């Protein structure tokens, strides 16, 4: 049984149905909607949305995730970048998170479509773009391809602690590989804002969480999200522990002490939760500390 702090009141969609209608009009999918994210009204109200590109079939099989797995057989929709920008222009959104399934069936892992979509979105005035990227097998050239188009934040999730990585994530999604991706992003462009996320409740200890936070800080991560893992269906991993709001605050304080600039931590926090505000807070931090 879920604890009381994980129960939220139902909210009427109202005008927010416009987001769903517009995305469907352009044959696009929002992770907010597909994952039935409890925060979607909050984010949409703040003119922020998360769009999933590159299809809905993932080539990896993580045990926490409910996305379909299989072989997309190299199919790519070349018109998708333009459809995304048309939808965002029509919706008047100011902050767009781009995420995707893993596409190991493609030579570039989908980096080209990410880059094209960012480029198309950046033609819209007052739109900020945050690609939440797969690891691209750690290929620096593919990471450079994405960064070259000028995203405002680049995110890549570590997901869980080192010990649980091989159990929770696909065998190709290595802890060290993800850390190297985040480190390489900063090496390519030291000014780029980087972001990562952790799920808790999968059997990790607080000490392991703190070790992961320290590792993320050591590779220059600017923004960290920490949220409660909730089982999407009975096919996925069971929840081992429900963290209290006080424990989320403890993790946040530790991450800030380690040097991460902005930490969004709480039971309902997801990778893209409050993304626009987190971006603005990082820039405020940099201004206050005279960072470029």
pLDDT, tens only, 72-88:
999 999 999 999 999 99
Residue 12 has pLDDT above 60, yes or no: no
The mean pLDDT value for 253-264 works out to 98
User: How high is the mean pLDDT of the chain?
Assistant: 90
The mean pLDDT value for 219-233 works out to 95
134-183 confidence digits (pLDDT tens): 999 999 999 999 999 999 999 999 999 999 999 999 999 999 999 999 99
* Residue that the structure tokens 């070790």 belong to: 211
One-character DSSP codes across the chain: ---GGG-------GGGHHHHHHHHHTT-EEHHHHTT-TTHHHHHHTTEEEEEES-SEESS--TT--SEES--TT---TTHHHHHHHHHHHHT-SEEEEEE---TTSTTTTHHHHHHHHHHHTTSTT-EEEEE---GGG-HHHHHHHHTT--SEEE---BS-TTTHHHHS-TTS-HHHHHHHHHHHHHH-TTSEEEEEEEE-SS--HHHHHHHHHHHHHTT--EEEEEE---SSTTSPPP--PPPHHHHHHHHHHHHHHT-SEEEEETT--TTTTHHHHHHHHHHHHHHTT--
Measure the CA angle with vertex 264, ends 98 and 276; round to 5°.
45
What's the pLDDT score for residue 37?
54
What's the pLDDT score for residue 34?
46
Residue 272 has pLDDT above 70, yes or no: yes
Lowest mean pLDDT among 29-38, 161-170, 180-189, 278-287: 29-38
Residue 54 has pLDDT above 70, yes or no: yes
Q: Which domains does the chain have, with CATH numbers?
A: 11-288 (3.20.20.70)
The mean pLDDT value for 126-141 works out to 97
The mean pLDDT value for 39-55 works out to 71
CA distance 174 to 166: 7
Phi-psi region of 110 (alpha: psi -120 to 50; beta: other; left: phi over 0): left
179-220 confidence digits (pLDDT tens): 999 999 999 999 999 999 999 999 999 999 999 999 999 999
Q: Which two tokens stand for residue 139?
A: 């290929």
pLDDT confidence tier of residue 279, bands split at 50, 70 and 90: very high
66 contacts 233 by C-beta, under 8 angstroms: yes
Pairing mode of beta strands 153-155, 193-200: parallel
Q: Which of 99, 108, 225 has the alpha carbon at shortest distance from 159?
A: 225
What's the pLDDT score for residue 168?
97
pLDDT confidence tier of residue 13, bands split at 50, 70 and 90: low
Residue 16 has pLDDT above 60, yes or no: no
* Measured CA distances, 251 to 62, 68, 207, 242 (Å): 24, 32, 10, 14
Residue 58 has pLDDT above 90, yes or no: yes
212 contacts 224 by C-beta, under 8 angstroms: no
* Measured CA distances, 95 to 8, 92, 99 (Å): 25, 9, 13
Residue 114 has pLDDT above 80, yes or no: yes
- Percentage of the chain lying above the pLDDT 70 cut: 89
Give me the residues paired with residue 188 across strands.
none
């Amino acid at each position: 049984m879920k604890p009381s702090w994980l129960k939220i009141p139902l909210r009427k969609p109202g005008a927010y149905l416009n987001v769903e209608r517009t995305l469907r009009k352009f044959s696009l999918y929002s992770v907010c909607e597909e994952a039935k994210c409890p925060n979607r009204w909050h984010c949409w109200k703040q003119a922020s949305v998360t769009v999933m590109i590159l299809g809905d079939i993932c080539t990896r099989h993580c045990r926490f995730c409910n996305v379909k797995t299989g072989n997309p057989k190299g199919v790519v929709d070349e018109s998708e970048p333009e459809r995304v920008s048309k939808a965002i222009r029509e919706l008047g959104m100011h902050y767009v998170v781009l995420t995707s399934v893993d596409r190991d069936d493609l030579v570039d892992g989908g980096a080209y479509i990410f880059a094209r979509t960012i480029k198309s979105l950046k033609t819209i005035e007052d739109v900020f773009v945050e690609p939440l990227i797969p690891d691209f097998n750690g290929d620096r050239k593919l990471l450079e391809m994405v960064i070259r188009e000028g995203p405002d934040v680049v995110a890549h999730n570590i997901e869980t602690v080192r010990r649980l990585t091989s159990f929770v994530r696909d065998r190709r999604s290595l802890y060290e590989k993800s850390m190297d991706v985040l480190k390489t992003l900063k090496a390519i462009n030291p000014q780029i804002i980087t972001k990562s996320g952790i799920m808790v409740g999968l059997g990790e200890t607080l000490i392991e969480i703190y070790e992961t936070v320290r590792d993320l800080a050591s590779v220059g991560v600017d923004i960290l999200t920490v949220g409660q893992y909730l089982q999407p269906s009975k096919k996925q991993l069971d929840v081992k522990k429900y963290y209290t709001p006080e424990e989320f605050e403890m993790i946040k304080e530790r991450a800030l002490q380690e040097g991460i600039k902005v930490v969004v931590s709480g039971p309902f926090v997801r990778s893209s939760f409050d993304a626009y505000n987190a971006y603005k807070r990082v820039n405020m931090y940099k201004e206050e500390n005279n960072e470029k």
